[in-house]
Amino acid sequence: MEHSETNRDNLRESPYNALYSRITTKSNTFTVHYRVQALKQVPTPGRAWLQWIEGKDQVVGEYRGATEIERYLDPNEAGLPDYAGASLPADPIDKYYRFRVLSTRQFAP
């Protein structure tokens, strides 16, 4: 492809590049997957507590699971600006989001 053709393609695509972030939606539900371990260090004189010795220290418990979280706006919240009005408020809407846990499940392979 010639250099001039590349520039022409970039010019044709530039309006979409500018609009893409403004017309896509953000998801309001998220699934967080996690693995949590309880660790036990074998006491050793002079050892830093941040140091882990593989094969000597122990994993004494583990929990694997997933939690579904919902992001929402509370329409009854005092001070929530009118984002549908003619002029946009100075504060970003992210400041007013609240989160709640919809479900939690354990993985037991």
pLDDT 10s digits, 3-28: 566 666 667 777 666 666 566 567 88
pTM: 0.58
pLDDT digits (tens, 9 = 90+) for 50-73: 888 899 999 999 999 999 999 999
Q: Which residues pair with 2 in a beta bridge?
A: none
How far, in Å, CA of 90 to CA of 93, rounded?
Answer: 9
Strand partners, 58: 40
Q: Give the pLDDT score at 1.
A: 52
Judged against a pLDDT cut of 80, whether residue 44 lies above it is answered with yes
Burial class (CB in 10 A: 0-12, 13-18, 19+), 69: middle
Distance of alpha carbon 102 from alpha carbon 68, whole angstroms: 5
Predicted local confidence at residue 105, as pLDDT: 97
Task: Report phi then psi at 100, rounded to 5.
Answer: -140, 150
* CA-wise closest residue to 56 among 70, 41, 39: 41
